[in-house]
Structure 1
Amino acid sequence: MNELFLRAVFQENLALSFFLGICTFLAVSKRVDTALGLGVAMVMVQGITVPLNHIIFYGLLIEGAWAWAGLPEIDLSYLKLICFIGVIAATVQILEMTLDRYAPRLHRSLGIFLPLITVNCAVLGGSLFMVDRHYSLPESIVYGLGSGFGWALAIVAFAAIRERLRYADIPNGLRGLGVAFIVTGLMSMGFSALAGVGAP
């Protein structure tokens, strides 16, 4: 399980290996505090939705899931995309309402970041990878937390670098998104170099 977690954080980082959620990654990474808020929201949502989507997919959608009702030939796996999106949207909404009611300070600190998670393709990508790789429920929990933590680590590190680059002497043609793309590529290579972390 440790190996799966480390692989999800470094080797298969959703932002830096698969470039999922890169629009949010670039837009919200100008300051470390905002990147940290989005990263915390991402860990929470990934940690909930990936295992929840596992239960729904293997309990209701896959062929044979309805064998207990005498319908073993039913295969609803073609509905996985719309079901996963619905679960993600509902989870984010429930999480937002729960935090607003029971943890208002945390809700205020996350601010707009929770609704942004709903449209982040990295969240959907985590659930689709879980299905494609046939993870068990415990593996789905570990992968959900690992992929969320990896995405959060990447955006916070990226925001710290971008804050430092404000004081750098960058050519006019590379300022803004130009240097951001270069830094993203360099970070991607750096995370790929950590692919052996945790290996014996």
Structure 2
Amino acid sequence: MKNIIEIIISTMTSQNIALVYILGMCPLIAISTNVKNAKGMGIAVVFVVTLTGIINWPIYELLKTTGTTNLSLLVFIITIAATVQFLEMFLAKFSPKLYNSFGIYLPLITVNCVVLAVSIFFVNRDYNFIETAAFSFGSSVGWMLAIVLLAGIRQKISKNSYLPKGLSGKAIAFIILGILSLAFIGFTGLSIF
């Protein structure tokens, strides 16, 4: 249990997939213009990344037993696309209100590199099923934390008339991400136990 909590906390802070590994930047920059959009995208990413990590682990174990692990990247991509498509159909059928609230964010997750990176990371780290589920959940929550923090700061800064014109928009987002990255790397080495 101690290892699981450490995996979740470290993937949200010192091993944050967005701020330390610099993955998922396209949606992070594009969607983070306001907090509402950032929360919607973040929730969708948490759900999809956790679900695909849990689905991809047994698939990879099956590939290991058959000696076809060189196909894992292709299989992971197909699994991610199928999971997002299935989730989209399921929500449209059984929860139209939730489906409409996700809007365009759900299909966009298919091309978010964070989803594939989590599957590659659990393979490289040789995690078991529970560790993979914890890693997938923690990584996605860490990504959501990064996008919501970025959106909140960008929203606050956009109301400031003192910001030079050359730093508005994406330029200030990159500066904010750099500062947030430094702050999150500062969590390295801390232990809750």
Task: State TM-score, norm by structure 2.
Answer: 0.95
Which residue in the other structure is 1:100 paired with? 92
Gaps of 5+ in 2: none
Could you give the per-residue CA deviations for residues 161-200 of structure 1, whole angstroms, max 9, x where no partner exists? Answer: 1000112211122121111110000011111122345433
Superposition pairs for residues 39-58 of structure 1, below 5 Å? Answer: 39-58=42-61
Superposition pairs for residues 108-127 of structure 1, below 5 Å? Answer: 108-127=100-119
Alignment match of 2:170 (pick from 173, 177, 188): 177
Q: Percent identity?
A: 41
Cα distance in structure 1, aligned partners of 2:96 and 2:166: 43
Could you give the per-residue CA deviations for residues 89-127 of structure 1, whole angstroms, max 9, x where no partner exists? Answer: 000001111111111111111010000000000110010
Could you give the per-residue CA deviations for residues 60-86 of structure 1, whole angstroms, max 9, x where no partner exists? Answer: x12xx13xxxxxxxx211111110000
The one-letter amino acid paired with 1:23 is C
Stretch deviating more after TM superposition (110-119 or 171-180): 171-180
Cα distance in structure 2, aligned partners of 1:109 and 1:139: 31
Cα distance in structure 1, aligned partners of 2:76 and 2:122: 12
Larger Rg: 1 or 2? Answer: 1
Gaps of 5+ in 1: 67-74
Which residue in the other structure is 2:182 paired with? 189
Alignment match of 1:162 (pick from 131, 145, 154): 154
Superposition pairs for residues 67-106 of structure 1, below 5 Å? Answer: 75-106=67-98
Cα distance in structure 2, aligned partners of 1:165 and 1:155: 15
Alignment match of 2:136 (pick from 144, 147, 159): 144
Task: State TM-score, norm by structure 1.
Answer: 0.91
Which residue in the other structure is 1:134 paired with? 126
